[in-house]
Structure 1
Amino acid sequence: MTDHRVPRIRGLALFAAIIVAIVLGVVIASNLWFKRELDKPWPQDTPAAAAPAAPAASSAPANAAAPARTDTEDAQPAPPLPASVASATARVVQRTAFAPPPEAELPNDDFGKMVRLGERIFMQTGTYARAYVGNQLNCVNCHLDAGRQADSAPLWAAFVHYPAYRKKTGEVDTLASRLQGCFQYSMNGKAPPADSEVITALQTYAFWLAKGAPVGTPMPGSGYPKLKKPPQAPDYARGEQVYAQNCALCHGADGQGQRVGDTQVFPPLWGPQSFNWGAGMHQLGNASAFIHANMPLGRGGSLTEQQAWDVAAFMNSHERPQDPRFTGSVAETRKKYHDSDDSLYGTTVNGHLLGSGGTGGGRKNGGA
């Protein structure tokens, strides 16, 4: 008797073999396609494609070529990133290199209370350290975002970089003595005692902001990013135009900032209520670097480096309070403390000898 099941079984086996062959073919083809895609070089000519190169931005030139391929093909260097993309990428990497702890992590204890006091002094210096302040500035005016922002001399960087030798004082300064100097020069006041609650609170706040930061190691975002000397010498007239277009809205045409009641909303940039001739911001290099990285507020990097140098020269061509180290002679004080192109102290601008007092500098009537 014939068994009719044998052809049926053979047919099912053949059908199954065909299905398996199709599946294997699809898998093999897919693998080959993915391999070809993975072997392709990353495109380098768009901002989106630039992201994989970002981690190297802080240790290599911003427009450096991507590493050559290492497979069996001829090594071909990738084209450089567009300058604007490379600059933006480097800035993002630098600004995110260290992040101080969020305020929500402040401990609710006596240590936390001292940190909070330091923050209040930093933000409202004339209110919480009134006895030591001689103008209308607050620490936060030059150290933005409550001392957190990279490239604006953040307080967390100051904590990990002191003690340090400073040419200005000719000795090794501690963080306490550095803070005392800020009150003498930037705040045009007097130094609180090193063991005072004011200095203790500020140091404690700096310590807390620096949680997790390496001590004594150069850190991206510390201080102000130094600018090269401009192709053209800083110019008062060009700086006046930059100021009118970009700065006067907040700081006023007369440079005296803006107040709302008893609160100084935007700081004065010159005149009796600003920093004195001994402050670091009177130096063109510091002022231009700060301006380029951070100003106009919220639009840092929007001015060219030349514009930053020019407007720094305009700002510092106006009179301000005397250097506390004044020897009785502007010429002698310049020779001893300001003898460089970085300082306009002791130079004559529009017929006025800067450092001699009064409302001179700038235009002859003292205005901007």
Structure 2
Amino acid sequence: MAKSLYLFALLVVASCALCEGQNVTNLPKGGSISDTMRTVTSHGPERITRNIIQDRNGNIWIAAFDGIFRYDGNSFTNITNQVSSARFFSVLEDRQGNLWFGTIGSGVYQYDPKKADGQKFRHFTTAEGLIDNRVPHIYEDKSGRIWFGTLTGASRFDPGQVVGKQFQNYRMNGAWPFTGLENGDLPPDDHDDVNSIIEDKNGKFWFGTRGDARIFDGKAFTVIRHEGQTFTNVRTIMEDRRGNVWLAGGDGLWRYDGSTFTNFTDDFVGFVYEDRAGNIWTSSQSTFSGKWGISRYDVKSLSDKKPVATKIDSDYKANEQMTFGLMEANDGSIWFGSLGGVYRYDGKTIKDFKGK
């Protein structure tokens, strides 16, 4: 089911966002960074916004190309403006309450809000064992290990190991585990980048790449196939509360119930997300109109033979550009990213958080 034609706009953004060099501001030495030194504003990010989460304290964290923003319900704080000028792509809160920030070109930052100023940040790059400094995805597995999806494979970080042995690296071309780039050869499908990782209810790991999606059982990996066809350019993989695995990407939106694959749409779907009510949300581009937007599959329709999504209509500017990560906040609103910042849908209207 691999499509021969990828969206031109998607490739343009991917090449610009993932392949350029990066200017990096090193962590300060001998000094401290306090919250009062960081930029507090009434507006959120104004550049490409890729991922959004809400932490255990209710703060919303936003990974964008102009920094990591924290929203407390009243104002935004750029947490990283004194630390790095990197373009941030991914954000995760682990079970210990640490925040992890993935960048394109500057590796990964760990942020511990419990520590004193000047000690909150740790920086991990290829020098510490990370397989690649371009990190579009971060995931925590059931054992508390942190996985980083990068442009040349995946890195698994085990916080329980001694320094120097915390990283285990993997390539999608069959070299499991992979400990060095060696000749830098591309895998057989010419794509070794990892866009999404999940551990399913059976303990198997699913990897979405721009090449063929794969499953890893801890010993070997297999390419995922349906009726002899592979799933390519998979951007998001998600397991819902019923144990179904969803694949979203260039081949559309698919659900796997353990035995059968079901197709929901052939539109390009960048992100798939399940809210607390069991509704499935997507950010996608219409094959017919070419417009981007967010849609919702009502939980009651998911058992239908051909469920139809409700498109969230609006005149917001993001419908003419790509939409990215989705997140349901504690108040039930849906947040999503775009090429020009972050938006919030409250069930009736869509609001942006840009400056004047």
Decide: shared fold, TM above 0.5. no
Decide which structure has the larger Cα Rg and report it: 1
When you count strand as a share of all residues, which structure comes out higher? 2
TM-score by length of 1: 0.23
